[in-house]
């Protein structure tokens, strides 16, 4: 049976980045033995963006904590959707997207949850 666990501030796990986007996990397979969920804080620094990519094996839910950004989505990344604090974002498996922070000084920070302990990412060149 799974064990109840608390991951304290400072005990999180730094994950692999997608470009300058970073994620720090608090709930993961390696930290707590999670088998069907993953939770992290994602940050996109000012004037930066992740690489265009898809998540092959999982749904992703995001909640914007602070900052503003936009997602380029769809074939050829031709559609742009702006998001800000309090917004919830759903990214289905296989959806091409690219988070972008155009602000010169503001960090864009989100809670990132997915329904798989391990994310398989495919990077795209557009």
Per-residue pLDDT at 46: 97
- How would you classify the pairing of strands 60-66 and 22-27? unpaired
DSSP string, 65-84: EES-EEEEESGGG-EEEEE-
* H-run or E-run covering 29: helix 29-32
Q: What is the pTM of this model?
A: 0.91
Per-residue pLDDT at 98: 95
Question: Do the beta carbons of residue 107 and residue 66 sit within 8 Å?
Answer: yes
Per-residue pLDDT at 126: 67
Per-residue pLDDT at 18: 65
Residue-range domains of the chain with CATH: 13-116 (2.60.120.10)
* pLDDT (tens digit per residue) in 32-76: 999 999 999 999 999 999 889 999 999 999 999 999 999 999 989
CB atoms within 10 A of CB 110: 26
Query: Would you say residue 2 has pLDDT above 80?
Result: no
């Amino acid at each position: 049976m799974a064990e109840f666990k608390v991951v304290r501030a400072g005990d999180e796990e730094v994950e692999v980045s997608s470009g300058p986007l970073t994620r720090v996990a608090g709930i993961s397979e390696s930290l707590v033995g999670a088998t069907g969920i993953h939770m992290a804080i994602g940050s996109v620094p000012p004037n930066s963006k992740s690489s265009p990519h898809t998540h092959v094996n999982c749904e992703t839910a995001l909640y914007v904590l602070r900052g503003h950004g936009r997602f380029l989505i769809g074939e050829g990344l031709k559609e742009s959707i702006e998001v800000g604090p309090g917004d919830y974002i759903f990214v289905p498996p296989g959806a091409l997207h690219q988070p972008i922070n155009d602000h010169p000084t503001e960090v864009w920070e989100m809670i990132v949850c997915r329904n798989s302990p391990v994310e398989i990412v495919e990077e795209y060149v557009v």
